[in-house]
Structure 1
Amino acid sequence: MTLTALTGATAGTLWLTSSSVDASDVPSRGVPVEAAMKPVRTDGTAVVQIMAHPDDDLFFMNPDTAQSIRSGNSLASVYLTAGESDGVNARRDDAHKPKPDKAAYAEARQNGIRAAYAEMATGNRTSPWDRTAIPTEGGGLAELDTLRAKPQISLVWVQLREAGSISGDRPHSLHGLWDGRIGSLDSQRAAGTPVRQDFSYTKEQVVDTVAGLLERFRPTFVRMQDPTPGRDAGSGKYADHQDHMYGARFAQAALARYAEVPGRPAFGVQNYLGYFTGGLPHTLDRKSFGEKLHTLKTYAWTDHTDYCEDPAGCGDRKVAARPAGHGWAQSVRYTRGSSTSWVQRGGDGSLWAFSVLDGRLAVWRKPVGAASAWSGPTMTAGTGLDAGVTSARLPDGRIAVFATRTTLGESAEQYRRDVVTSVQATVGGAFGPWRSLGTPERDDRTSTSDISAPAVTVDARGHVTVYVRDGRYRLTSTAQRADGGWSPWRSLGGHDIHGDPVAATDAHGRGYVFAATPKTVLAWTQRTPGGPLTGPVATGLPPTTLSLSVGPDGDEGDGVRLWFRAPGSGDVRSARFAGSGLASPVTELTGGVAGWGPVSGGEGLVAARSRSGGLATAQPGGAGKKPWTLSAPLFSGAPSGIGGGEAAGTGGVATIGLDGRLNWTPSRR
């Protein structure tokens, strides 16, 4: 790009003029364009959120978004489409509706987002923003908004055309562009944007644009929507908006490209469930829901006062009719990274922790001894891993790691996800190459590659079985054969299963597998060690928020303890199972802590995410006590706790911070 002249500056914006217009030049005389491509971020943690539409973050990522804003760290939210819909900014029941104007409606939605973010950051929805046009790596321009009072908060508007239908056949969309049905997708500029000329992007240019934004903001953590949301079991339609799904696939492709950039910080990724979460048990407590709904009402411009003085409108009046959405505001739900089994003790007594950074396995190690320190991370070979891993210790003391992996392929037809494993060559040694266990799915088009994270059982003979929820919401499994190969995937039944299954083995060597439905929890059990797995068995448990964890029961030893949360409060509860059934009533920890996501429990130590996004730990015991200890740092995925066992003083709980670092809290006993 050649800049021919710089003239004038207002509010920190430089106005560029250009003598020509092409894919590598700045379009249009008098367009405000930022002169320098300097990252706008604070030291340490930097979060980038990538969404298809304005409000996807407020419905599906909040309260996480608000927590990042409160942390004071860098946050950049990227919106791929303008969200122009039919151009009518009105409630369905409004008596007088404005004429369709897609540019004005896109501008109103931007105004609503700016107001919502300003209010979350400063308490004042009118706190001003600086709006600037920036060149993209795709050859066009995007709008960059910076909150003047909190310049570490940015909004980026790519302003591509939206599909205009949840699942209808709309070739001129991100979906059509990804599949190759169209060669390029046009822009839809908002009425007040500083981007003054239309443009269009090819598939490659969209990937270039998003990868360039990632390079600009240099995130340590990326939030994005679910690229494999599945299909509705009845109608066969996508379970989420097609823009959400294919926008997330563009984000995946951009992240894979960005991962190759030298010198950038390591980054983690978190995916969020979209529309489907509205029909599942609510995860948020009343206070968290109220705060989230307040932000949505600000975005929706529910008071309908002209506080922004913009003829386009100050928010999204379509949302004003139902600011909670279709049950979306009552929950936040992750679709990757919910395993609590990512810390493991090796056969030599050392501790190992695993995460996914840059799409690769990151490994930390803590030698034997309470005073020893963690080292790492060491990055293993192999890319494309999805967030979150599960680990298991084999009878000979080696550790095996299990994950899912996404293969983007050269064409849309080659997109797929499979289950993979990597095993230590020796006790305490390096991990071998990833081996694919395949997938229970026939192809991507059938169920959008919608498989859960794996759960694993290992019996006393070293017999390994892996369990995955498939796209038809059933439990499936594959088992390792004597020759080291793996059996074909087979269905174990179950119906309407959501979230990730969990599995454990008790002290007698009996395996247990649990999977949640919206109404209860199903169980599969072994009556004898090494015997056949029977089920599903109705546990009789009440509805949960679907996030489960399970481990050997440290108190009784002859069973396992299942940990879960109560809908609508996030209170932590547990139940003990032995043999084929419930062995004790459901119990709730005293001094309950509201929050969401899985609970890591076992050997006298319990860890969970609190409603403020930090870590809550407890060592249950003592009637009437409040056992929870809270810490502030935000973290990704789920905590993973491990008891000291015979090595007293070496237990604790681990989290992965939004800066990609391992945090370790030793247990007190």
Structure 2
Amino acid sequence: MSDIDEPSRGGDEDAQRAPRRRPLVSRRTLVWAGVAVGGLAALGGGALIYRDIRRSAGPEGTWVELNPIVPVPSVSPRATSPAFEQPLGETTVAVWAHADDDIIFANPHLAGVIASGATLRTVFVTAGDAGRGLDYAKQREAGIRAAYDRMRGSTSAWETREITLLSGARVTRFVPVDDPRLSITVLRLPDGNLSAKGFPSTGDAGLTQLINGTVPALRPIDDGPTLDASRLAETLAELIHAGSPRSVTTNVPHESAFARGDHPDHSCVGSLVRAVAPAVGVAAEAVTYYIGYPSQHQPVNVEGDALASKVDVYETYASQDPVVTCDTASACLAQPGFGQWLRRSYAKAESELQLR
């Protein structure tokens, strides 16, 4: 989801949080305390929270025109990447702008993929750092690993590897020691900000400027090799191909009517994936795009046990993110924007994108 310049993400990123004492009340009870309103004769605390959420609006990203992505040349056969991972059953490669886009916008589908025993290879393109540096980005990465642990039902350690790709990019990969069918790969490019102007600490530049040619290249915030637009596209093509996917999931692309008001990084990543997937043999109908911020304008479609589970996973992530942390399910649902997004998940096929 990324950015932190809206009021709902206020907080001191340097603060050290004491371990949380887990609530004795079940998360499912807390969810329904925050959202159940039907049949109430008078407004109670939970209903008041729900009413306030309905009145509050989540953030919207600045709309900026984006240059068309230059297609990656099709090469067959492609050389085996150092990032290659052995397929372990049906494989999904998921490419997202920020660490939490998947658990906010693509759950409960994401949890279903993990529960099914299928293989999931996740890639996060930006560090989601919001100009706060590598330490904060690593907190978010720890949060998403904890969320995956929650979904897979294990807290075993994760191995960390640095991989230099054929494209010249350097990525960091995390793999659970007890579950090689899952992996998380991060590029750690600078966050582009809700304004699409980046942050001063990272040169006021992000994916939008890179694609539009107003900056020649971006340097990852962990000081990896710089990536120009063509190298970034080739890097994503290489990582998708290395996962041997049957399906790909990602953010809604800039060309879609559903991208209006979304985070600019989301739109950039969706457009990049849509442009490069055909070059590595992924058919258009095999790619699924998830609506981001604008999903708040769609009807609620995640309820009951599915909502309880989704909020539980998000709360697990948020416990590691000092900016969006929430200690109970009802507190997570009360966050402007997040409360609306958690109650919704909208997947779109290529034919449903309403391309402009």
Could you state the TM-score of these two structures normalised by the residue count of structure 2?
0.69
Does the C-alpha gap of structure 1 residues 284 and 62 become closer, same or farther in structure 2, counting only changes over 3 Å?
A: same
Secondary structure (helix, strand or coil) at the match of 2:128 reads coil
Question: Which one has a larger percent strand, Structure 1 or Structure 2?
Answer: 1
In 2, Cα distance between equivalents of 1:127 and 1:274: 31
In 2, Cα distance between equivalents of 1:145 and 1:112: 13
Aligned equivalent of 1:180: 213
1:302-341 matches, cutoff 5 A:
315-321=320-326, 323-324=332-333, 325-336=338-349
Identify the match of residue 308 of structure 2 among 254, 279, 290: 290
Does the C-alpha gap of structure 1 residues 138 and 172 become closer, same or farther in structure 2, counting only changes over 3 Å?
A: farther
Gaps of 5+ in 2: 1-80, 199-203
**Residue 129 of structure 2 is aligned to residue 84 of structure 1:** yes
**Residue 282 of structure 2 is aligned to residue 269 of structure 1:** no
**Is contact 1:229-1:240 (8 Å) kept?**
no
Q: CA deviation at 1:176?
A: 0.9
1:335-355 per-residue CA deviation (whole Å, 9 max, x = no partner) reads: 32xxxxxxxxxxxxxxxxxxx
**Is contact 1:137-1:205 (8 Å) kept?**
no
1:454-507 per-residue CA deviation (whole Å, 9 max, x = no partner) reads: xxxxxxxxxxxxxxxxx7xxxxxxxxxxxxxxxxxxxxxxxxxxxxxxxxxxxx
Aligned equivalent of 1:198: 224
In 1, Cα distance between equivalents of 2:216 and 2:236: 18
In 1, Cα distance between equivalents of 2:220 and 2:316: 27
Does the C-alpha gap of structure 1 residues 166 and 254 become closer, same or farther in structure 2, counting only changes over 3 Å?
A: same
Does the C-alpha gap of structure 1 residues 265 and 46 become closer, same or farther in structure 2, counting only changes over 3 Å?
A: farther
Q: Which of 1 and 2 has greater Rg?
A: 1
In 1, Cα distance between equivalents of 2:224 and 2:110: 31
1:228-267 per-residue CA deviation (whole Å, 9 max, x = no partner) reads: 37679xxxx94100000011111122213212xxxx8997
In 2, Cα distance between equivalents of 1:265 and 1:69: 23
| One-letter amino acid of the counterpart of residue 451, structure 1 | Q
Secondary structure (helix, strand or coil) at the match of 1:318 reads coil
Does the C-alpha gap of structure 1 residues 243 and 289 become closer, same or farther in structure 2, counting only changes over 3 Å?
A: same
Aligned equivalent of 1:107: 138
Secondary structure (helix, strand or coil) at the match of 2:173 reads strand
In 2, Cα distance between equivalents of 1:269 and 1:299: 26
In 2, Cα distance between equivalents of 1:41 and 1:144: 16
Q: CA deviation at 1:186?
A: 1.3
When the two chains are superposed, the root-mean-square deviation of aligned CA atoms in Å is 2.4
Does the C-alpha gap of structure 1 residues 169 and 106 become closer, same or farther in structure 2, counting only changes over 3 Å?
A: closer
**RCO (CA 8 Å, sep 6+): is it higher in 1 or 2?**
2
Q: CA deviation at 1:285?
A: 2.1
Secondary structure (helix, strand or coil) at the match of 2:93 reads strand
Does the C-alpha gap of structure 1 residues 36 and 140 become closer, same or farther in structure 2, counting only changes over 3 Å?
A: closer
Q: Percent identity?
A: 25
1:412-431 matches, cutoff 5 A:
none
Secondary structure (helix, strand or coil) at the match of 2:340 reads coil
Aligned equivalent of 1:451: 354
**Residue 157 of structure 2 is aligned to residue 152 of structure 1:** no
| One-letter amino acid of the counterpart of residue 166, structure 1 | L
1:18-167 matches, cutoff 5 A:
37-43=83-89, 45-87=90-132, 102-121=133-152, 123-124=153-154, 126-163=155-192, 165-167=193-195
Q: CA deviation at 1:140?
A: 2.2
Gaps of 5+ in 1: 1-34, 88-101, 190-196, 302-314, 337-385, 389-449, 453-470, 472-669
Question: Which one has a larger percent helix, Structure 1 or Structure 2?
Answer: 2
Q: CA deviation at 1:135?
A: 1.5
Does the C-alpha gap of structure 1 residues 286 and 217 become closer, same or farther in structure 2, counting only changes over 3 Å?
A: same
Identify the match of residue 237 of structure 2 among 208, 211, 215: 211
Q: CA deviation at 1:58?
A: 0.5
In 1, Cα distance between equivalents of 2:185 and 2:285: 20
1:92-145 per-residue CA deviation (whole Å, 9 max, x = no partner) reads: xxxxxxxxxx11100100100111101211x23x32111101122330210111
Does the C-alpha gap of structure 1 residues 135 and 230 become closer, same or farther in structure 2, counting only changes over 3 Å?
A: same
In 2, Cα distance between equivalents of 1:161 and 1:181: 15
**Is contact 2:83-2:165 (8 Å) kept?**
no
